[in-house]
Amino acid sequence: MDITEKLITSLTVLLTGLVVVFAVLFILIGIIKGCGIIVTKFENMVKEKKAQKETASAKPVAPVQQKPVQVTETAESGISDEIVAVIAAAVDAMYGSSGKARIKSIKKSDNSRSAWSKAGILDNTRPF
């Protein structure tokens, strides 16, 4: 074999390898996109069924009765009445009208944490 035959053989092998690699790559991209489309359609179908069940079984909701909130320490702690009302409403929404939850005190948080500490806490407590 002379040098031209070796060069032609090498280029043929190189070109064949590149064509095969890129062809398989495009096939894999198509397979992954197809799986993504199938999963998305399935999720949408499940969401539609769930929404249909919720609308079919939805019961009329009785209006929520407002409970008076007793504010005792707002002037001393420097927290406005609106903030206390919002916190009381959140507690009431969370626990309902069972009457088991009570707000004993509301305090402002101290911002003694550094920005790096807050970032670490947010990163470690982020939901999946």
Residue 110 within a domain: no
Residue 116 within a domain: no
Residue 96 within a domain: yes
- pTM, entire model: 0.39
Look at residue 121 in the predicted model and tell me its pLDDT. 87
Render pLDDT for 8-31 as a digit per residue (tens, 0 to 9). Answer: 999 999 999 999 999 999 999 999
Look at residue 1 in the predicted model and tell me its pLDDT. 79
Helices (H), the chain: 3-56, 74-77, 81-95, 115-125
Residue 114 within a domain: no
Residue 4 within a domain: yes
Residue 127 within a domain: no
Q: Do 51 and 78 lie in a common domain?
A: no
Look at residue 74 in the predicted model and tell me its pLDDT. 47
Contact status, residue 103 vs residue 87, Cβ threshold 8 Å: yes
Q: Do 1 and 47 lie in a common domain?
A: yes
Render pLDDT for 40-71 as a digit per residue (tens, 0 to 9). Answer: 999 999 999 988 888 877 666 556 565 555 54
Q: Do 51 and 89 lie in a common domain?
A: no
Domain count, the chain: 2
Residue 48 within a domain: yes
Q: Do 47 and 12 lie in a common domain?
A: yes
Please give the residue range of the domain that contains residue 15: 1-55
Q: Do 46 and 79 lie in a common domain?
A: no
Three-state secondary-structure class, residue 96: helix
